[in-house]
Amino acid sequence: MINIVNKEVLKAFKYIQKGGVILYPTDTIWGIGCDATNCKAVEKIYRIKKRKINSKNYFFLSKNNNLIKAARNLYPLIRKIKNKGYKKIAVEKIPNIGIGKTINDRLERASKY
């Protein structure tokens, strides 16, 4: 069973790398995913969801809610998204305690680019 799951995950990963959009189960609903740094793939999600191009989308910086990893991934993801041609990046602050202070500080500094 694990080998089958691993093969499907690898297949989805390769599809995303080529600009594809996937559906994946979450704990409550189905999610739509793509490479957040691929403008064409993100635009596909907007078309699928019938959303205006200026509405919000969410990018996850850590797959397992690891705030230290999220802080480490923040600047590289912002740079990657900016270099792909996005005009605006909107972010939501997290609780300003512990590592959250560091992440919010980085978000604040990044907003001044």
The rounded percent of the chain whose pLDDT value lies above 90 is 4
pLDDT reading at 1 higher than 60: no
Query: C-alpha 25: how far from its chain's center?
Result: 16
The tokens for 110 are 């990044």
Per-domain residue ranges for the chain? 1-55, 59-113
Give the pTM.
Answer: 0.50
Mean pLDDT of the chain: 75
Query: Could you report the per-residue pLDDT of 76-102, keeping only the tens digit for each?
Result: 877 777 777 666 666 666 677 777 777
- 3-state SS class at 98: coil
H and E: helices and strands count for the chain: 4, 2
- The single-letter code of the amino acid at 82 is K
Query: Could you report the per-residue pLDDT of 53-83, keeping only the tens digit for each?
Result: 666 656 666 666 666 777 777 778 777 777 7
